[in-house]
Structure 1
Amino acid sequence: MGEANRAGEAPESGKVVSASLDISAPADRIFELIAEPAEQPRWDGNDNLAEAAVGQRVHGVGDVFRTSILQGGIRDNHVVEFEEGALIAWRPSEPGSPPPGHLWRWELSPLDDVRTRVTHTYDWSRLTDEKRMVRARATGVDALLSSLTRLARIAEDI
């Protein structure tokens, strides 16, 4: 497995956390694991996702995919950034409610034909739901690196 980089929190807000990992797999293989929600519980380093139905593969901005979380709730994830094979970001919400403002982003940069730098970011700078603040504050670089490491293991074993 590749080398990890800890980007840390943005000093001005403390509400944007990012980490990168160089993964020994091509970008398209890694992207499929991220863009197919049914795969996400396999690599979720936050230990938050229970499952997602097969057939929700993300194809663009405006798509919404549904996941269930381990605490028993359901989340609709609104895709707000998308570039096939390179970038995907979504804002989760409870079904029927607008997203409360936090964002999960994945950026993939091919290093060569078989290695990819993957950057995972959690941005809660626009989070408005006070009930989610404690969990947001607790989501740090280690949780992001956990997801990246799990993702790498799966992508490298395919």
Structure 2
Amino acid sequence: MNETAHGEKKQTVTRTIEAPARDIFQILTLPARHQEFDGSEMVRADEKSQRIQQVGDTFVMNMHNEQAGDYQMENHVVAYDANKLVGWKPAAPGQEAPGWQWVYQLQSVDQDTTEVSLTYDWSHVTDQDLLAKNIFPAISEEQMDVSLARLQSLV
């Protein structure tokens, strides 16, 4: 559901995946696997990152897009609840996060089925120059849905 039509600065997609929440969470918390399910096609590889274990962890991803070419993003973990929730705010390495975040929520339907929601939230971006560029949302709902479809194919 794209909530931008209501003035909110976030969009969420949801998919029911036939896999236990713990199996999905194991993939989401291992940055080395993020390229496998990235629907934006921008994630290239992690930069020797460790598994996400708590709020405050950071992990670095090698990225690429047509405008910026190759670059890195340092992701700051801002949400973590084992087998239920993981989220991060990207930033340029060594910089403060500009305010957008990615959050995966896992809700067990039963022991072998999980409802997975991915939210892209840019409501905390305050940099007026960045907002003036009108780049949000930088990732479409369709790309987000591709991410969940690819995640589903991995479990």
Whether these two folds match at TM > 0.5 is yes
Q: CA RMSD in A?
A: 1.6
**Map of 2:23 onto structure 1:** 29
Given that residues 47 and 62 in structure 2 are in contact (C-alpha distance below 8 angstroms), is that contact kept between their aligned partners in structure 1? no
Given that residues 13 and 125 in structure 1 are in contact (C-alpha distance below 8 angstroms), is that contact kept between their aligned partners in structure 2? no
Map 1:106-125 onto structure 2 (within 5 A).
106-125=104-123
Q: Structure 1 unaligned segments of length 5 or more: list them.
A: 1-6
Deviations 1:65-93 (A, max 9, x none): 11110231111100011001110010000
Question: What is the CA–CA distance in structure 1 between the aligned matches of 2:80 and 2:117, rounded to whole Å?
Answer: 14
| Among candidates 26, 30, 40, match of residue 34 of structure 2 | 40
Moved more, 52-61 or 14-23: 52-61
Deviations 1:109-142 (A, max 9, x none): 1111111000000001112344475442242321
TM-score (norm 2): 0.89
Given that residues 49 and 59 in structure 2 are in contact (C-alpha distance below 8 angstroms), is that contact kept between their aligned partners in structure 1? no
TM-score (norm 1): 0.87
Question: What is the CA–CA distance in structure 1 between the aligned matches of 2:79 and 2:49, rounded to whole Å?
Answer: 20
The amino acid of 1:104's aligned partner reads: W
Between the two proteins, the alignment pairs up a number of residues equal to 149
SS of the residue corresponding to residue 116 of structure 1 reads strand
**Map of 2:83 onto structure 1:** 85
SS of the residue corresponding to residue 70 of structure 2 reads coil
Q: Structure 1 residues 62, 138: closer, same or farther in 2, change over 3 A?
A: closer
Question: What is the CA–CA distance in structure 2 between the aligned matches of 1:116 and 1:136, rounded to whole Å?
Answer: 29
1:140 equivalenced with 2:140 (yes/no): yes
Q: Percent identity at matched positions?
A: 31
Question: What is the CA–CA distance in structure 1 between the aligned matches of 2:70 and 2:138, rounded to whole Å?
Answer: 20
The amino acid of 1:150's aligned partner reads: R
Question: What is the CA–CA distance in structure 1 between the aligned matches of 2:137 and 2:78, rounded to whole Å?
Answer: 22
